[in-house]
Amino acid sequence: MVDTAELPYLRRCVELAAEALEVGDEPFGSVLVGADGTVLAEDRNRVAGGDSTQHPEFALARWSASHLTPQERAAATVYTSGEHCPMCAAAHGWVGLGRIVYVASSEQLVGWLEELGVPAAPVSALPINAVAPHVTVEGPVPELTDEVRALHRRLHSAP
Ligand SMILES: [Zn+2]
C-alpha cells in the first residue's frame, strides 16, 4: 500500500510532469528517494530534442549507478507519474534499485492515448514485473491519476 506520507513525492512527480509539458516535452516526472525519506534526485522527460530514450526513470537509474552504493540503491524508492516503460524497467532492474510507486499504469496510459487517437508507441507497454520480476511495484494511485490523465490530454488534444 502507498502510505499517505508518500503522496508528496508523487505530487512532485506530477509537478515535474507538468513542468515538462510547459516546455514542450511529454508529461512524465520521477523522484528518487533514499531509505531515510530524503529526495536524492529528480528528473522529467526530455525527449523533445529528438532522443526518445531520455525518460526520467532511465536518468535516475543511471544517476543511482554512479552516486549510490548497491545497498543504497536497493533501499531507495523511485516515485514516478507513469509506470516505467520496458527500457526504464530494465535499467531499474540492472542497477538494482528498490521499490517503484507509480501514479498511472502503462495500461491506463495506453487506454487514454487510444481514446485520444494517438498512434501506438514503438515499444510494448509491458508491466514492470514482466521486465524486472523482483522489483516491488505499487500503483496506480487513484488520488492523483486524474491529474496525470489531464496532462496527457493537454499534450494530445488539438488546441
Ligand atoms: Zn521509459
Q: How far is the CA of 55 from the centre of ligand 1 (A)?
A: 5
Q: How far is the CA of 88 from the centre of ligand 1 (A)?
A: 4
Q: Tell me the whole-structure pTM to 2 decimals.
A: 0.96
Q: Which residue has the cell 499534450?
A: 155
Indicate the burial class of 77 (C-beta count within 10 angstroms; 0-12, 13-18, 19 or more): buried
CA of 58 to the centre of ligand 1 (A): 6
Query: How many angstroms separate the alpha carbon of residue 150 from the centre of ligand 1?
Result: 20
- 10-residue mean pLDDT series, the chain (159 residues): 91 98 97 98 97 98 98 98 98 98 97 94 96 98 97 85
What is the per-residue pLDDT for 5? 92
CA of residue 8 to ligand 1 center, whole Å: 22
Q: What is the pLDDT of residue 158?
A: 58
